[in-house]
Structure 1
Amino acid sequence: MSRYIENALDKRYEVWKNKDYSEEPESMMDLAIADFMRDRPTSRNLDPEFKKWATIQIRTFFFAGHDSTAATIVYCLYLLSKGPGILAQVRAEHDQTFGADITTTAQQLKDRPELINQLPLTTAVIKEVLRLYPPASALRGGMPGVYLEDKNGHKFPTEGLLVWIVHGSIQRNPNYWPEPHSFIPDRWLVAQGHHLYPPKYAFRPFEAGPRDCVGQSLAMVDIKVALALTIREFDFHDQYAEWDRQHPNRSGPKTVFGERAYQVPQGAAHAVHGMPCRVVQRPQTGHL
């Protein structure tokens, strides 16, 4: 991967040498090269140390985006398979937006990409999945004079410490979320003032503030597209019961918060044991 990225950087730099480096960058690679050229506008080649640094950043960006998005897609399919009523509503929403012929969905998205923004229930499902199963957490460096304060007014200094923001704990905290362990997409559809309405700053899968995830919009689009292209064509059924039968002496907890498909760290947080499942193609008769 590093060699591939380095070669791509060199090729892209050859193009950029003949451009105005102040032009709007078109990609993350362009951003890195534009930053390099501001300091070295006449350089014939990319500096090896800069190229090494840029390669590490781009590689991390690719990995973080793909791995966390993949984990979220898996949990979307899993939780929808456990909630047939919600699944039926999502499929109906897709029928209404794209029509009943699922073979046309991909072309419709190519011709009219704005359709992906006409799926409010699907978006609510994704947000609720991210609340229950955030694929990552965050780390922030403490600073002098910066304190964390609990509900009783006790202050905890952060200077010299790293503050670990555990999204899974915040987003299942019963002080902020009614029925915190339940899959309720309606949280994201109710009006402000409703008891289910999400509290401010308590939803943090992409973090919040000036250092929130730069790829969050892309991730949401990726997940919606994946669901639009699969959820009406296939049924997904987890096979944890079969996995447990085949591994009677396995170690580790059986469930977490009563859920068998709990998360374990594998890059991003993934479903334990790789989410064993069976995928069945649904019969298509021209109308779902």
Structure 2
Amino acid sequence: MGRQPLILVADPELCKEVGIKKFKDIPNRSIPSPISASPLHQKGLFFTRDSRWSTMRNTILSVYQPSHLASLVPMMQSFIESATENLDTPNEDMIFSDLSLRLATDVIGEAAFGVNFGLSKPHSVCESIKSVSSVKNGDDDDDEVSDFINQHIYSTTQLKMDLSGSFSIILGLLAPILQEPFRQILKRIPGTMDRKIESINEKLSGRLDEIVKRRMEDKNRTSKNFLSLILNARESKLVSENVFSPEYISAVTYEHLLAGSATTAFTLSSIVYLVAGHLEVEKKLLQEIDEFGPSDKIPTAQDLHDSFPYLDQVIKEAMRFYTVSPLVARETSNEVEIGGYLLPKGTWVWLAIGVLAKDPRNFPDPEKFKPERFDPKCEEMKLRHPYAFIPFGIGPRACIGQKFSLQELKLTLIHLYRKYVFRHSLNMEKPVEMEYGMVLNFKHGVKLRVIRRTQ
């Protein structure tokens, strides 16, 4: 990639070598050109490096302890029930991916900031998430919430790895050494995409800093949202104030909003889209959900773990079929040998997990949606390499919020399928078109018809 040495790894054993066995020599993520253009995104846990990363990670891990995740079930369920009121108009087409993003943003907004954005309250189901000027929130000014969400959406959608991004990002893909000099020039020229991105990121950073400042001044923090827990740890000297300085707190909290909304929303949309096109899968899924108990019986965290094996298989197969983050990017910190090749320090090592997920050697008929391939009793599962399917990454750098996301997905799917089934809208393009950014997305959204179940 220009003068930047880069290797792609699409072998599960080599992925294990990179992500686990040689982690001490490859501990950091490489920083792709879209992130190089955004200092805010660089300061989150995802791209932080070396000792600062390990300190931040060890602190944040406490947020994802099983007991804390279990305590979030009622909050998640409340938002899910509110969001599904949008579906009560029967036999009507909707943009399901918009509702998924609203719901995921509300859940992570409450969990990360302790703020209810109110996006998943009943709206017209075809209304876009970008139209949030009417959002109501008991604690914040409506316009402030609207502006914050719009800035968040714009910042997220501009992190593209294709030719529709800013010129400096495109240049960074071809010649990384030239990206920052050109970005510094272009961000000063009115009308350029670099100028627009810089302006939005400055506003977003400023808004986040205000939220953090207000929360820091509140000495009576009792809620257990992510931001409050980090501030409490900082003030109790459990972590260095230098590691969690205000700008890093802002960045890592926003990172939770970004990662917890875009990826979860995409995965939820892809699951419902795929199940809608495979009625034999839908039948088995409905049977498992119905057998759990009455429709008003809310699963506990333990229930979610133990009582829905086929739902687990459906989620895994959807994540294999549409891998939300097709690449895991790493960078060597020392000279290191991988697969018999000596890689110099600073080499980018990209794990092509999207390629792994479609490799017929581990997934026969890879273009077929078949949840049973993840049944532990299935011969295919027994023969598969354990690192052929790594949708959340691998090793210490694996996604720290994966259990949070899976808990939210399971609760949502159980509640949805207790009441509704879905069919592809006639307005849904075939084949479906994808958009490639920092995460995968449906280019034109997921359009579905909602059908209320008759008990």
C-alpha distance in structure 2 between counterparts of 1:128 and 1:94, whole Å: 18
C-alpha distance in structure 2 between counterparts of 1:243 and 1:80, whole Å: 15
Q: For 1:144-183, list aligned pairs within 5 A.
A: 144-149=334-339, 155=341, 157=343, 159-183=345-369
Runs of 5+ consecutive residues of structure 2 not aligned to the other structure:
1-147, 149-203
Relative to 1, partners in 2 of residues 1:191 and 1:55: Cα closer, same or farther, differing over 3 Å? same
Are residue 270 (structure 1) and residue 441 (structure 2) matched? yes
Deviations 1:153-173 (A, max 9, x none): x52625322222222111111
Relative to 1, partners in 2 of residues 1:273 and 1:266: Cα closer, same or farther, differing over 3 Å? farther
C-alpha distance in structure 2 between counterparts of 1:30 and 1:190, whole Å: 40
Q: For 1:182-261, list aligned pairs within 5 A.
A: 182-191=368-377, 194-197=379-382, 198-239=384-425, 242=427, 260-261=431-432
Match of 1:141 in 2: 331
Are residue 114 (structure 1) and residue 302 (structure 2) matched? yes
Amino acid at match of 2:268: I
Deviations 1:54-73 (A, max 9, x none): 11221112111111000000
C-alpha distance in structure 1 between counterparts of 2:449 and 2:337, whole Å: 49
Deviations 1:222-258 (A, max 9, x none): 111111111232232233x6455xxxxxxxxx7xxxx
Deviations 1:16-73 (A, max 9, x none): 5899xxxxx95432453255436699xxxx99x9222211221112111111000000
Relative to 1, partners in 2 of residues 1:97 and 1:4: Cα closer, same or farther, differing over 3 Å? farther
Match of 1:65 in 2: 260
Local SS of the residue matching 1:218: helix
Instruction: Work out which structure has the larger RCO, using CA pairs closer than 8 Å and 6 or more positions apart in sequence.
Output: 2
Of residues 29, 32, 35, the one that matches 2:227 is 29
Contact 2:422–2:449 (Cα < 8 Å) also in 1: yes
Contact 1:133–1:263 (Cα < 8 Å) also in 2: no
Local SS of the residue matching 1:278: strand
| CA shift for structure 1 position 113 | 4.5
C-alpha distance in structure 2 between counterparts of 1:87 and 1:18, whole Å: 44
C-alpha distance in structure 2 between counterparts of 1:7 and 1:131, whole Å: 39
Amino acid at match of 2:413: L
Contact 2:301–2:407 (Cα < 8 Å) also in 1: no
Amino acid at match of 1:281: I
C-alpha distance in structure 2 between counterparts of 1:18 and 1:133, whole Å: 40
With 157-166 and 89-98 compared, the bigger mean Cα shift is at 157-166
Deviations 1:202-228 (A, max 9, x none): 111111111111100011011111111
Contact 1:178–1:196 (Cα < 8 Å) also in 2: no
Match of 1:280 in 2: 450
Relative to 1, partners in 2 of residues 1:15 and 1:190: Cα closer, same or farther, differing over 3 Å? same
Contact 1:233–1:282 (Cα < 8 Å) also in 2: yes
The TM-score, its normalising length taken from structure 2, stands at 0.48
Local SS of the residue matching 2:444: helix
Match of 1:9 in 2: 212
Match of 1:90 in 2: 285
Relative to 1, partners in 2 of residues 1:18 and 1:65: Cα closer, same or farther, differing over 3 Å? closer
Match of 1:132 in 2: 321
With 88-97 and 25-34 compared, the bigger mean Cα shift is at 25-34
| CA shift for structure 1 position 266 | 4.5
Identity of aligned residues (%): 21
Runs of 5+ consecutive residues of structure 1 not aligned to the other structure:
20-24, 245-253, 255-259
| CA shift for structure 1 position 281 | 2.5
Deviations 1:167-210 (A, max 9, x none): 21111112322222221211222337x23334211111111111
Contact 2:273–2:448 (Cα < 8 Å) also in 1: no
Local SS of the residue matching 1:235: strand
Relative to 1, partners in 2 of residues 1:283 and 1:31: Cα closer, same or farther, differing over 3 Å? closer
Q: Is the helix fraction higher in 1 or 2?
A: 2
Local SS of the residue matching 1:174: coil
Amino acid at match of 1:224: K
Relative to 1, partners in 2 of residues 1:280 and 1:27: Cα closer, same or farther, differing over 3 Å? closer
C-alpha distance in structure 1 between counterparts of 2:348 and 2:424, whole Å: 38
C-alpha distance in structure 1 between counterparts of 2:393 and 2:219, whole Å: 33
With 183-192 and 73-82 compared, the bigger mean Cα shift is at 183-192
Deviations 1:52-97 (A, max 9, x none): 2211221112111111000000110011111101111100111011
Contact 1:172–1:181 (Cα < 8 Å) also in 2: yes
C-alpha distance in structure 1 between counterparts of 2:344 and 2:329, whole Å: 12
Relative to 1, partners in 2 of residues 1:222 and 1:18: Cα closer, same or farther, differing over 3 Å? closer
